[in-house]
Structure 1
């Protein structure tokens, strides 16, 4: 109950902040349904997880680097709000936790590249976690393409427990989301060729949605 209250309080705070500081541009090819789903997006900025939870239409947990949970106060918030730490040397534990949450009717948010995007308008080799989660849970994937203005990204380097971490923060300005239609994926997770093929296809789909978002930003004044 406490986690749910904290999550919704944080989500409301983000919505208020985004209305004041961001020029949100959201285009729906399909409105995000209620209930458990797997939101999969590109990841141009460190700010993305918070904005995606604010439009998720229900409680959502984000897969986030475990090192960020070591930041004083902020890490405690991530833990208490129910987000999922992902270890650098393997995401098996995080994957199982995400699958458990989906079965409890909680949405899971996954970044297709597994990390911050290295380049705008280009997605690295996609990770397979989203497709495997969809196969095992039976929940739909909601693909989202995020578009931002390069000049508004602030790169901030920090040291967390001796490890240097680069954050790409987006504090204000135009922020575009293009939300695709739900994708239902069936298959055997042991069929690695199919999993890789579908993950590549999903990456291209998200890249296409990102281009739609970026195009709207370039056309806007």
Structure 2
């Protein structure tokens, strides 16, 4: 990865970090340590904001597959394109190109993120049927899939940004409120990528994990807790009796 792409990815992560800290109740929970290197993040897709915020779950440069129409948005689209993001052309179909480019990136030991539903989740709290591409890519590159469950508060979603002018099928932008992420344990798969029944079995397993993680994120978001640090901490430990 050249310096320009790395710089843009790091700059984008810094901007989103500032946004998340100031405007969101942003929370990430890892069920297991996240090893560095090639892997495929597979999250649900409740909002158009997801690709931007997902970059915060890892310190590594993260290449994300996004709707090609997002790249038509002034400035944002250009930055995304220059950062090496892989465009998904839903109208003309570029599935084989996506798989080829994704495998190339994984072979360079960088992680990628794929929204396996292939579109925004019709209902924020429910997962759609998954496409098989995420399993085919992971099998071909011999890397794990890391399932991700995202919860957002639906009342803070805005649906009108860029919708008409840029012909997005639907855009939902989260500008405020809860954004909770749960990162699951990596799933390792082996087998023939051309075995359709095997691929469907793997996709079913990924789907169940994402649904479980979505529920875990929601439970954590709605659970009330009280915690604080002392305003004036002890300068030293109290003496023993």
TM-score band, normalised by the shorter chain? over 0.9
- 1:67-120 C-alpha deviation (Å, 9 max, x unpaired): 111222221111111100011132221121111111111111011201110012
- SS of 1:64's equivalent? strand
Separation of aligned partners in 2, 1:159 and 1:101? 33
| Equivalent residue number for residue 72 of structure 1 | 74
Q: 2:53 aligns with which of 51, 72, 75?
A: 51
Root-mean-square deviation (Å): 1.5
| Equivalent residue number for residue 239 of structure 2 | none
- 1:160-199 C-alpha deviation (Å, 9 max, x unpaired): 45x3532110011111111111111111110001101211
Compute the TM-score of the two structures, normalised by the length of structure 1. 0.94
Q: Quick check: 1:153–1:170 contact (8 Å CA) kept in 2?
A: yes
1:8 aligns to 2:10 (yes or no)? yes
Q: How many residues align?
A: 220
Q: Quick check: 1:178–1:213 contact (8 Å CA) kept in 2?
A: yes
Q: 1:159 aligns with which of 149, 153, 164?
A: 164
1:133 aligns to 2:137 (yes or no)? yes
Separation of aligned partners in 2, 1:35 and 1:217? 29
1:193 aligns to 2:197 (yes or no)? yes
- 1:11-50 C-alpha deviation (Å, 9 max, x unpaired): 1111121111111222211132211210110000111111
Identify unmatched segments of 5+ residues in structure 1.
none
Identify unmatched segments of 5+ residues in structure 2.
226-241
Residue pairs, 1:95-134, within 5 angstroms: 95-134=99-138
- 1:99-142 C-alpha deviation (Å, 9 max, x unpaired): 11111111110112011100122111111111111111111111
Q: Quick check: 1:32–1:57 contact (8 Å CA) kept in 2?
A: no
| Equivalent residue number for residue 168 of structure 1 | 172
Separation of aligned partners in 2, 1:4 and 1:217? 32
Separation of aligned partners in 2, 1:35 and 1:177? 20
Deviation for aligned residue 1:56: 2.2
Deviation for aligned residue 1:204: 1.4
1:32 aligns to 2:37 (yes or no)? no
Separation of aligned partners in 2, 1:39 and 1:21? 25
Compute the TM-score of the two structures, normalised by the length of structure 2. 0.87
Q: Quick check: 1:142–1:181 contact (8 Å CA) kept in 2?
A: yes
Q: Which has the higher strand share?
A: 1
Q: 2:63 aligns with which of 61, 71, 96?
A: 61
Separation of aligned partners in 2, 1:74 and 1:175? 21
